[in-house]
Structure 1
Amino acid sequence: MTLLSQFEIQEIDQTVLLWLNDIRQKTIAAMQQRLDVHEKRDNRDLVTNVDQDNEKFINDKIRHFDAEAHIVSEEGFGDHNQDMNGRVWFVDPIDGTMNFVKQKTDFAVMIALYEDNQPVLGWILDVVNNVVYHGGPQIGVFANQLRLKPPIDDNLSEGIVLLSGARLLYGMFGYDKIAKAALGYRVIGAAGPSFIRVIMGQAIGYSSKMMPWDFAAGQVLAKTLGLSVSDIDGKALDMLSSNIVLVATNRAHRDILTLHQS
């Protein structure tokens, strides 16, 4: 249980919303300019000047606001955490960089706060549509100021499932069986927009290989809304390493685990 009071949590939530408003303005402005794009591991793993600038901006805000906390972030400006003791912030400055560069849509900025490994708050900014999905177990989940209700607890066969395209293509983790069992399947190519579709009830579930900054915010929001979040074997996620993440309605989650294990 978090040591923070509900008032403190609401204050943090409103503070981060102000940061994200600034980040959105900076990101939209940068999209009108020529992006500085580089490869990380290969030509499908991209980083831009916006990823780096956003991370520096957010990390600087966090360090001034919560000096004792640690930061786990994508582009190397955070800390090298060995545990989840105390307050830990997760930062994904541009989630879905390929989409950001090539499509100019279906990307997000994500921030999350955990305390002693327990979820406190999460924020997913849909930059293009100017909507922040935010909240946590103490205050509920909101799309901007609209409080969200839990999605309908449908089975896998009753909804659309979102999957990692590369792993679906090669039949990994039973994704081919999962796609066939669902009413339909889609590939979005970014964690934040995929989590948004699940918490909004537009998709029955989502699974992909993710790093902690990819799933930290989405896990807070999904669990607060009563959705199931685990790795593909049904175990709790390791917050400091990569996981094959599965978020889904409770019924679809059981259906997917059964297919994966069969």
Structure 2
Amino acid sequence: MSTLSPFEIQEIDQTVLMWLDELQKATMAAMNQHLDVATKHDARDLVTNVDKSNEQTINKYIRKFDPDAQIVSEEGFGDKPISMAGHVWFVDPIDGTMNFYKQHDDFAIMIALYIDNQPILGWIMDVVNNIVYHGGPQMGVFANQLRLYPPENDALNQGIVLLSGARLLYGMFGYDEIAKSALGYRVIGAAGPSFIRVLRGQAVGYSSKMMSWDFAAGQVLAKTLGLIVSDIDGKQLDMLSSNIVLVATNRAHRDILALHRS
């Protein structure tokens, strides 16, 4: 893997932050206007004109900034890489489209850069509050300009766990037992806001079925803060496929794997 200098890391980070600043303004303006809403796989899987517009904008910027890179993005304007060789960017233009459309809250814009399958930088923008959680192993993790530090290593029974509502409802992957064993449980309905709560120590863990654009940025930031990221069986995530993702403190991760296996 080609090693990026601290200057190059800083340049990439600041460039993406400029993109996100522009997208935040456009997304907030569009949210209060008429939205063109369609369904994808089912009635709960929504896509809006803002999802598509944001993705086209981000992908255009990436192709100009890093022309040899490949892009994995949700709405079909990216590439379909068969390996993680070289620069691979992940783009989720509106994470939590249902929340965006119905709640006007708890949604995010997410971008991540991996080089030769190694996490380099991630960005999760809390659009409504205009906070970008960003960074990576070479620079640490920040909420805008405020450095974040590793959260307390609490066990599952000491904190709140965030879970996929649909899979909790049907008792899949041991989620029902995980919810019962936690101090409390919540369903947010979006990956980015859920990752943010774990990064900030507001939850000890989060698990859901996700595509790579859902977890790529969160994995960069979580691992940088010493959190454990794996699939529900404790294995490394496949960056080019869907996974049952688990991010948690070390102790909560151990507790959740034990419950899932039992």
What is the CA–CA distance in structure 1 between the aligned matches of 2:2 and 2:238, rounded to whole Å? 19
Indicate whether 1:155 and 2:155 are aligned: yes
CA drift of 1:4 comes to 1.3
Please list, as runs of the form range in 1=range in 2, the aligned pairs for 1:81-160 lying within 5 A after superposition: 81-160=81-160
Match of 1:236 in 2: 236
**Amino acid paired to 2:243:** N
- Quote the Cα distance in structure 2 between the aligned partners of 1:36 and 1:100: 13
Partner SS for 1:84: coil
Deviation by residue 1:192-243 (Cα, 9 ceiling, x = unmatched): 0000000000000000000000000000000000000000000000000000
Q: Deviations over 1:111-137 (max 9, x none)?
A: 000000000000000000010000000
RMSD, aligned α-carbons:
0.6
Equivalent pair of 1:95/1:192 in contact (CA under 8 Å): yes
For 1:85 and 1:137, how far apart are their aligned partners in 2? 19
For 1:28 and 1:171, how far apart are their aligned partners in 2? 36
What residue is the counterpart of 2:79 in the other structure?
79
Matched, 1:255 2:261: no
Which AA in structure 2 matches 1:244?
Answer: I
Q: Specify the SS of the correspondent of 1:226.
A: coil
1:31 deviates by: 1.0
Q: Give the deviation of 1:56 after TM superposition.
A: 0.2
Residue in structure 1 matched with residue 32 of structure 2 by the alignment: 32
Shift of 1:2: 5.1
Q: Structure 1-normalised TM-score? A: 0.99
Cα distance in 2 for residues equivalent to 1:4 and 1:149:
23
Q: Please give the secondary structure, in 2, of the residue aligned with 1:203.
A: coil
Q: What is the aligned partner in structure 1 of residue 225 from structure 2?
A: 225
Once the two structures are superposed, what CA deviation does each residue of 1:93-122 show, in whole Å capped at 9, x if it has no partner?
Answer: 000000000000000000000000000000
What is the distance in 2 between the residues matched to 1:218 and 1:259?
A: 23
Where does 1:124-203 land on structure 2 (aligned, <5 Å)? 124-203=124-203
Q: Distance in 2 between matches of 1:156 and 1:28?
A: 36
* Number of equivalent positions: 262
- For residues 8 and 173 of structure 2, the distance between their equivalents in structure 1, rounded to whole angstroms, comes to 41
Map Cα deviations across residues 5-39 of structure 1 (whole Å, 9 max, x no partner): 11101110000000000000110110121000000
- Quote the Cα distance in structure 2 between the aligned partners of 1:74 and 1:82: 16
Where do 5+ consecutive residues of structure 1 fail to align?
A: none
Letter in 1 for 2:252: A
Structure-1 residue corresponding to 2:17: 17
Given that 1:132 and 1:144 are in contact with CA atoms closer than 8 Å, whether structure 2 keeps it comes out as yes
CA distance in 1, matches of 2:153, 2:41: 39
CA distance in 1, matches of 2:189, 2:139: 30
Separation in 2 of the partners of 1:124 and 1:254? 26
Paired position in structure 2 for 1:41: 41
Amino acid in structure 1 at the alignment position of 2:225: L
- 1:160 touches 1:204 (CA, 8 Å); kept in 2? yes
Identity, in percent, stands at: 78
Q: Distance in 2 between matches of 1:77 and 1:4?
A: 27
For 2:84 and 2:4, the matched residues in 1 are separated by: 16
TM-score of the two chains, using structure 2 as the length reference: 0.99
Provide the secondary structure at the position in 2 that maps to 1:135: strand
Change (3 A) 1:237 1:57: same
Equivalent residues of 1:111, 1:122 under 8 A apart:
yes
